[in-house]
């Protein structure tokens, strides 16, 4: 959460920072700001989206070759101009941007208040900056030393970048828990929360690790730990193209990402699923095969949409591998005292690889001897580096705040993993293995078929867009899809929606049903098909409006439901990869019909780096 960008070099800093902030806006859009240093240190900030900041700066002299910028997702203090970053230090010499939370800021603040300091914002960031400023002013030490001393007292997560009026050529950055990438150009450096603001200028990057401090000048990058020892930067090449982070003719990133799914799923399977050989190649799985085979239990930790992918995986692993699976909300798992045995396998699922709760949860499990396997999209992310092994989803950058293509890629990876493990364990026979491999390899084409006819889904969306509430019901492998459909709708359209196992509906939610309530059934043909038809009858009997996602050719439900959306037939194990697509589109079209900003829904941020 919160996006940071900084530049030092010979170009104009402001346009680079502004463009970078627009690319990082998915991380938060409550307010934004920039600090630029030429003859003087100037700070500009504004409540609202980056475009509002840009507009407020038209006509100003923004010439500078060094600067920092921030787009905020509010934690401490309401979204406002004064709580926006960058913050200025009491001496007026330092400007700082921050992503993360300083948990002991209250303690630091009361110490500073006793010393006579006054604050102009409600943020933890201003407190940390004042603390650094105070150390520097009173200990006669360098800024670098003052930052080191201050950070040793800080509890929490941060990336900070500081601009110093007295050192007009130097940025100092430090990290713990939140992400920071430094792009290395010729006589220039770019800093950002992820690689998207950097990719246009250079592909050579350094990912900063926890407890590292970077001193960055146009020609120099010095990396140190908090003990002041120098570290050799590990330079990596970015495997990302600029086109991947642009809208490419679509109205929204969300729509582009939904339509990319035939390719992203294909890319995820490519090189792994070898139908002709009858083999699945996954290095991370192969290297830990013995541990995986011996696992008495798999615990999946994740949040949000990734947690829903984990729920589907629970059904798949239990069915194919006969290993008990528990799916945990990372935020609950990390604060419980979970029972973890050394032979347990933890699968962490995360698109961003930066979700704070998931990161801490796996660190906790790692301490207790579990094997950590990451199913992640962002290469080099914090969770990737904290895992023992893993498999990337290769979905490419996901910029729309609501997760779409990352979910289907997660399902593809998890299904391949389960299939491979099941074959090694001997818990499925060769025929079923081959059949499921074929089913999986057919998915990209079937997704393409759904996407070829979206007009029907758009019409249904418009018909129901004024509903106040929605209920989503599914059984078996499609139950998590009901949860995901409801989450997508809430996020994008601000309509209250709940997902339930279809049979559980009788134990409470059925009280909500009246002739105004749309009930979405995820009812593709599977082992529970007759059961879900009975559930549908129960809703119809109470005059609920039934919308159903069905398998092509299902005339029984077509005759019964008010509206249907069809998907091609598929084995129930891979069916969620298809049935979720109409759910994504339904939410998207309702959001658009209501005139909402679907790529940046209110109050949300893409990468949840605070707990």
**Residues with catalytic roles:** 2, 606
For ligand F6R, which is the closer residue by CB, 578 or 608? 608
Residue reference for tokens 């070829």: 452
Say which DSSP state 177 is in: B
Minimum distance from CB of 588 to ligand F6R (Å)? 12
The 3-class secondary structure across 315-362, one letter per residue, is: HHHHHHHCCCEEEEEHHHHCCCCCCCCCCCEEEEEECCCCCHHHHHHH
For ligand F6R, which is the closer residue by CB, 202 or 358? 358
Cα 594 to Cα 309: distance, rounded to the nearest angstrom: 28
For ligand F6R, which is the closer residue by CB, 4 or 214? 4
Minimum distance from CB of 291 to ligand F6R (Å)? 24
Spell out the residues 6+ positions from residue 603 whose beta carbon is closer than 8 angstroms to its own. Answer: none
Which residue number has the CB closest to ligand F6R? 304
For ligand F6R, which is the closer residue by CB, 43 or 608? 608
Minimum distance from CB of 426 to ligand F6R (Å)? 33
DSSP conformation letters of 178-191: S--EEEE-SS-EEE
Minimum distance from CB of 398 to ligand F6R (Å)? 8
Minimum distance from CB of 449 to ligand F6R (Å)? 24
Spell out the residues 6+ positions from residue 370 whose beta carbon is closer than 8 angstroms to its own. Answer: 299, 340, 341, 342, 344, 345, 346
For ligand F6R, which is the closer residue by CB, 325 or 384? 384
Cα 184 to Cα 276: distance, rounded to the nearest angstrom: 43
Minimum distance from CB of 28 to ligand F6R (Å)? 13
Minimum distance from CB of 408 to ligand F6R (Å)? 13
The 3-class secondary structure across 513-532, one letter per residue, is: CCCCCEEEEECCCCCCHHHH
Crossing angle of helices 443-452 and 576-593, rounded to 10°: 30
Sign of CA dihedral 7, 8, 9, 12: positive
Minimum distance from CB of 562 to ligand F6R (Å)? 27
For ligand F6R, which is the closer residue by CB, 306 or 387? 306
Residues paired with 45 in a beta bridge: 33
Minimum distance from CB of 3 to ligand F6R (Å)? 14
| Residue in 405, 389, 388 with CA at minimum distance from that of residue 397 | 405
Cα 160 to Cα 389: distance, rounded to the nearest angstrom: 29
For ligand F6R, which is the closer residue by CB, 45 or 606? 606
| Residue in 328, 302, 312 with CA at minimum distance from that of residue 577 | 312
R_g of the chain, CA atoms, integer Å: 25
For ligand F6R, which is the closer residue by CB, 306 or 551? 306
Pairing assessment for the beta strands 298-302 and 325-329 based on DSSP bridges? parallel
Distance of alpha carbon 607 from the chain centroid: 4
Binding site for ligand F6R (CB under 6 A): 303-306, 350-352, 355, 358, 402-403, 487, 491, 608
For ligand F6R, which is the closer residue by CB, 27 or 46? 27
| Helix, strand, coil in percent for the chain, rounding step 5 | 40, 25, 35
Q: Write out the H or E segment, with its range, that includes residue 219.
A: none
For ligand F6R, which is the closer residue by CB, 32 or 352? 352
Distance of alpha carbon 238 from the chain centroid: 19
Helix (H, G, I), strand (E, B) or coil at 579: helix
For ligand F6R, which is the closer residue by CB, 488 or 545? 488
**Distance (Å) of CA 554 to CA 168, 549, 564:** 69, 10, 10
Whether the Cβ atoms of residue 574 and residue 440 lie closer than 8 Å to each other: yes
Q: Which stretches within 442-575 are classed as H helix?
A: 443-452, 455-464, 479-493, 529-541, 555-560
Cα 560 to Cα 471: distance, rounded to the nearest angstrom: 17
Spell out the residues 6+ positions from residue 176 whose beta carbon is closer than 8 angstroms to its own. Answer: 100, 151, 154, 156, 157, 158, 210, 211
- Written as six digits, the tokens of 204 are 């050579």
Minimum distance from CB of 332 to ligand F6R (Å)? 14
Minimum distance from CB of 466 to ligand F6R (Å)? 23
Geometric angle at alpha carbon 198, from 194 and 201, rounded to 5°:
170
């Amino acid at each position: 959460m919160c996006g940071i960008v900084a530049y030092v070099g010979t170009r104009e800093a402001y346009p680079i920072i502004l463009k970078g902030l627009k690319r990082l806006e998915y991380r938060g859009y409550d307010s934004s700001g920039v600090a630029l240093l030429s003859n003087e240190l100037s700070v500009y900030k504004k409540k609202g989206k980056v475009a509002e900041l840009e507009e407020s700066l038209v006509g100003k002299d923004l010439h500078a070759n060094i600067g920092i910028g921030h787009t905020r997702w509010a934690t401490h203090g309401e979204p406002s101009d004064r709580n926006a970053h960058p913050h200025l230090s009491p001496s007026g010499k330092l400007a700082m941007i921050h992503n993360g939370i300083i948990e002991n800021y209250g303690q630091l603040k009361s110490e500073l208040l006793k010393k006579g300091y006054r604050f102009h914002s409600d943020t933890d960031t201003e407190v940390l900056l004042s603390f650094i400023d105070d150390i520097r002013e009173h200990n006669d030490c360098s800024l670098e030393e003052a930052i080191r001393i201050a950070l040793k007292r800080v509890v929490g997560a941060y990336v900070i970048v500081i601009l110093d009026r007295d050192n007009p050529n130097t940025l100092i950055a430090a990290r713990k828990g939140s992400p920071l990438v430094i792009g290395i150009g010729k006589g220039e450096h770019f800093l950002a929360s992820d690689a998207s603001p950097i990719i246009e200028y250079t592909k050579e990057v350094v990912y900063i690790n926890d407890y590292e401090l970077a001193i960055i000048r146009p020609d120099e990058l010095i990396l140190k730990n908090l003990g002041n020892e120098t570290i050799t930067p590990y330079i990596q090449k970015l495997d990302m193209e600029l086109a991947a982070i642009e809208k490419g003719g679509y109205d929204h990133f969300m729509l582009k990402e939904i339509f990319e799914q035939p390719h992203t799923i294909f890319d995820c399977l490519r090189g792994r699923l070898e139908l002709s050989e009858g083999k699945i190649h996954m290095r991370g799985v192969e290297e830990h095969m013995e541990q995986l085979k011996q696992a008495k239990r798999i615990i999946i930790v994740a949040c949000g949409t990734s947690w829903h992918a984990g729920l589907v995986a629970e059904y798949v692993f239990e069915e194919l591998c006969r290993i008990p699976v528990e799916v945990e909300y990372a935020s609950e798992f990390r604060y419980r005292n979970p029972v973890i045995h050394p032979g347990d396998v933890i699968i962490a699922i995360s698109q961003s690889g930066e979700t704070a709760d998931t990161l801490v949860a796996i660190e906790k499990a790692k301490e207790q001897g579990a094997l950590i396997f990451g199913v992640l999209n962002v290469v080099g992310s914090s969770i990737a580096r904290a895992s023992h092994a893993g498999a990337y989803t290769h979905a490419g950058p996901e910029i729309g705040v609501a997760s779409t293509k990352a979910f289907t890629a997660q399902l593809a990876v998890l299904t391949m993993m389960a299939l491979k493990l099941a074959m090694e364990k001997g818990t499925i026979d060769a025929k079923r293995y081959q059949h499921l491999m074929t089913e999986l390899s057919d998915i990209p084409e079937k997704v393409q078929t759904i996407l070829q006819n979206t007009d029907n889904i758009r019409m249904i969306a418009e018909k129901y867009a004024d509903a106040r509430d929605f209920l989503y019901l599914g059984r078996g492998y499609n139950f998590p899809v009901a949860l995901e459909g409801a989450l997508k709708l809430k996020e994008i359209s601000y309509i209250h929606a709940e997902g339930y196992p279809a049979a559980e509906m009788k134990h409470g939610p059925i009280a909500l049903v009246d002739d105004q309530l749309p009930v979405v059934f995820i009812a593709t043909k599977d082992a529970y098909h007759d059961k879900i038809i009975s559930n549908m009858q129960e809703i119809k009997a109470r005059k609920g409006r039934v919308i159903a996602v069905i398998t092509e050719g299902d005339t029984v439900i077509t005759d019964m439901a008010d509206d249907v959306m069809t998907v091609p037939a598929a084995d129930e194990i891979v069916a969620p990869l298809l049935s979720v697509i109409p759910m994504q589109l339904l939410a998207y079209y309702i959001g658009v019909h209501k005139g909402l900003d679907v790529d940046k829904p209110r109050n949300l941020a893409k990468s949840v780096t605070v707990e």
